[in-house]
Structure 1
């Protein structure tokens, strides 16, 4: 079985030697990276995970020092004392889902939309994004989100 610390280069579904198929759900750490979220929302996030029986997910809050680090580094970091974190505030609300199956991601997104939490954009942790700096990913994701949103008819 693959460990959570396996290299990001194997995330695409095959190990380096090509003999072993490894799925993202097994290779990546099961985690949520919350970008642009406030610490005051931690209790609501934990309740959401409890309701989904998803308490196994490690929750990370994007800090100022993570912005220029890779997504891989961010979801494999350590956050001990949440009260002492310098949360990145001037960034859009994005929830990176790591190590989850497509079905698990959809369940989380559907349940999130039923909460009274502010809207967020959702993104999966995939090989192509793993080694990119968060700052670059945030720009790409928000650009894609704006493009998709512009194509959808207004629902008023």
Structure 2
């Protein structure tokens, strides 16, 4: 079983962003924690980050065409709130998608309360820092096993 983790715009700056919202974890540390949990769960975890929406969408298209992952865990960053292109790419998938956020987007500025990704995701986990990613991976793996994706 393989999971693709997609980190969106500005997430390469984890560890430098406001710690009250995002903690002190770096993206490298988050990826290492996800790979470690993946090993415990018997899942290969591939991580990819880009500040280019086209590159993230290219990864989704690759998974769709090549059937190279059984599920996607995604933190779209700010694209969450307005990227219909990203939403449309995810909607094409026949594998489960779980959306995660380090901060609680529903407790922040009003424009962050809307996720255009949520309607095409199996679920969303937000507000738990790095644990949002880890809980998201656990939920995604369970969903993959349950549906046989």
Q: Bin the TM-score by the shorter chain.
A: 0.3 to 0.5
- Going by fraction, where is strand more abundant, 1 or 2? 2
Compute the TM-score of the two structures, normalised by the length of structure 2.
Answer: 0.33
- Going by fraction, where is helix more abundant, 1 or 2? 2
Greater Cα radius of gyration, structure 1 or 2: 1
